[in-house]
Amino acid sequence: MTTINWNELWRDTEDSKMHSNNLDFWNAFAPRFRNKVTEPDPYIEMFYNYLEARPEDTLFDMGCGSGTLAIPYAQKGHEVYAADFSPEMLKFLMQGAEEAGVAGRIHPIQLNWNEDWSQRSLPACDIAFSSRSFISRDLTSSLEKLESVAKRRVCIGAWDIPVAGYDRFLAKAIGYERPGIGTHYMIMGELMDRDVFPEMKYIYTPFRLTKYESREAAEKQLRAAFAHMSEEQERKFDQYLEEHLIYHPEKGVYHGNDLDGYWQFDHSDASSMAFISWEIKSVYE
């Protein structure tokens, strides 16, 4: 029998490579991200329910962005230590906190997944979590870092799709086998190998289908997710886009970007996010 090196697999994932040290990218993205988080998102409440937070619990939100979860959870009465390595994200976080009247309960921290957390005086909170922001070059050390700032419980919201842009409807229509494994699988594997006893649930929410600025942009992004098609799958791929990728001439907004017109699939979909949680080992001792 051989042991899987989850860290090596992780380094080939999108979450590992995705601008994890590109400060200019995230600073530039911050204004659009601020607009994005004003859209209603049932995921926020479902994630909170799975946190199992007690009224007096303090929360450590790693990769907080501009406050997608930090602001509504502060509104519930929690002290939230909100960490992100982008100062622009933190600026918009605090602007939003001021507008929501919870700036006194949110404590911003500029922090990078890839730095040495032991050199920082970070607070230990009852629950540490990362939601859709586990963007790190090293799986093992990042899990340990979250544990280092958690007194009782650690929670992660991780995409269960194998690659960015993967569309289940399109995959089924062209007979495309699911490529690789999702990041949630690797996180669970790493934790189980450490005897941490993780639990995993799924959060299903209506999926805001991607709005593409052009048909060419749609095809380019989708082909990147379906990179190993056979000739027959290529034919079905082109046919599916021809029949189901529809142009909408009206104005639209996607991820904070204003679009004068956009292309979008005509199928509906549900987003599935893996919610992974575990108790700090002292609970079992």
Residue by residue, DSSP assigns 201-223 as EEEEEE-----BSSHHHHHHHHH
Pick the more confident residue, 26 or 100: 100
For 156, the token pair is: 């992660």
Pick the more confident residue, 107 or 204: 107
Question: Per-residue pLDDT averaged across 140-145, rounded?
Answer: 95
Bin 38: left if φ > 0, else alpha if -120 < ψ < 50, else beta: alpha
Residue spans of the domains in the chain: they are 6-207+269-284, 209-267
Strand spans (E) along the chain? 58-62, 79-84, 106-110, 125-131, 150-159, 199-206, 245-248, 252-254, 257-259, 262-265, 270-279
Question: Per-residue pLDDT averaged across 102-115, rounded?
Answer: 96
Sign of the alpha-carbon dihedral angle for 161, 162, 163, 165: negative
Percent of the chain predicted with pLDDT > 70: 86
> Which CATH code is given to the segment(s) 6-207+269-284?
3.40.50.150
By CB atoms closer than 10 A (0-12, 13-18, 19+), residue 263 is buried
Q: How confident is the model at residue 283 (pLDDT cuts 50, 70, 90)?
A: very low
Q: How confident is the model at residue 257 (pLDDT cuts 50, 70, 90)?
A: low
Question: Per-residue pLDDT averaged across 113-123, rounded?
Answer: 95
For 269, the token pair is: 């979909």
Calpha distance 198→181 (Å, rounded): 18
Whether the model pTM is above 0.75: yes
40-60 pLDDT, tens digit each: 678 899 999 999 999 999 999
By CB atoms closer than 10 A (0-12, 13-18, 19+), residue 270 is exposed
Calpha distance 65→46 (Å, rounded): 19
Q: Report pLDDT for 122.
A: 97
